[in-house]
Amino acid sequence: MRAMKRLVSIAACALALALLAGTAVAAKKDSDKAGAAKGGGGGASEDKAFDEVVKDMEVIPGLFTIYRKADDNKLLMEIRPEQLEHLFLFAMSFDQSTGERGFYGAMMGGDFPFLFHRVGKTVQWVMKNTAFTASSGTPEARAVARSFPNAILAASKIVSKPHPERKSLLIDVGEMLASRDLPGIAIGLNQVYEPTNFSFDKDKSAITAVKAFPENLLFDVA
């Protein structure tokens, strides 16, 4: 059985932004945990200068600027201040699959609007609730916000100080896209091939390729 790959596309979604503008972001604030550093001379990574962290890394400009170090399988993404709380569209498809029982190559894997939300020294990947909506400022809108909040899919630690001029943030994009079974493939495989025990293996998952364009990014996650 060939390993599955999922192709992730992040594209600007101006229409969704226009339709959903004014909707409050219901993101739960996580409490920061401060750990005492062991040994001498080792500062926290988020205290390092932006340019120091991306030094000697390949720069891939696009909708989001990507910094890549292929030898270390390291992929960082720069988020500008105006890109926080801004709606984008996430779309996923399967490049390879089993070829049977509902799992086929080039099959779409879902799409949804999302935004990046900063909480302390982390950036959250927040999926917007679009299943239930109501007119802003109405009692119905307050009920929807309480009953059907946005979903926090993942969070990534900020790995450097903000850029001194652009004030942008730097995160490890692999923590968001390659650290969990986002489409729920393991659950689906266990259902159609029972009795089996498929599970997501974080240590063997990685972003294997990236392409950046002015209005979208493509990630190949395997």
pLDDT at 88: 96
Give mean pLDDT, residues 26-43. Answer: 39
**pLDDT tens digit sequence for 197-207:** 888 787 878 88
Using CA atoms, how far residue 204 sits from 47, 77, 109, 207, 222, in Å, is: 29, 21, 21, 10, 8
* Range with the largest mean pLDDT of 9-13, 48-52, 102-106: 48-52
Give mean pLDDT, residues 4-14. Answer: 39
pLDDT at 89: 94
pLDDT at 114: 95
**pLDDT tens digit sequence for 80-127:** 999 999 999 999 888 777 778 777 777 787 889 999 999 999 999 999
Map out the domains of the chain as residue ranges.
5-22+45-221
**pLDDT tens digit sequence for 64-76:** 999 999 888 899 9
d(CA 207, CA 214): 20
Residue type (1 letter), 148: F
Model-level pTM?
0.73
Strand order in the sheet with 169-172: 58-60, 65-69, 74-79, 169-172
Q: Looking at the predicted structure, is the pLDDT value of residue 162 above 90?
A: yes
pLDDT at 211: 93
pLDDT at 9: 42
Question: CA nearest 1: which of 93, 71, 101, 70?
Answer: 101
